Copies of this chain bind each other. A is one copy, B any other.
């Protein structure tokens, strides 16, 4: 996904688990980039109105940022489940993170449908047999 989306989703997840404000260091660790690169990207997120950044303290999602991150998170979850349950990919989280934001909402919607109607070849059947 675009770098911006990746950072935004990361902030969202960290905010959910550890609360706000989220420090740039935490984001950097989580996303595997240098603190400097993270500060820079945080400033870009702020310029787009997705987060509020208080220097040396951390960031908080704006309403717009939270909304967008939430959608991203839903898409991520769907893709993740598809990779895990249908395709049985070991590293489904990484794979999902790579494609979320790359595929259109239409693809995500159709994947959701697929998850609701499990194929005869998927592991998702296990619970229905």
Which residues in A have some Cβ–Cβ distance to B below 8 Å?
Answer: 83, 86-91, 95, 98-99, 102-104, 106-107, 110-111, 113-114, 117-122
For the residues of A in contact with B, the DSSP-based class is: loop
One complex includes copies of this chain to the number of 2
Set B95, B113, B118: member contacting A103, Cβ < 8 A: B95
Are B99 and A102 in contact (CB-based, < 8 A)?
Answer: yes
Q: Which residues of B contact A122 (CB under 8 A)?
A: 114, 119
Q: Which residues of B contact A89 (CB under 8 A)?
A: 104, 106-107, 110
C-alpha gap A98/B102 in the complex (Å): 6
C-alpha gap A118/B87 in the complex (Å): 13
CB of A128 to closest CB in B, whole Å: 12
Q: Which residues of B contact A87 (CB under 8 A)?
A: 107, 110-111, 114
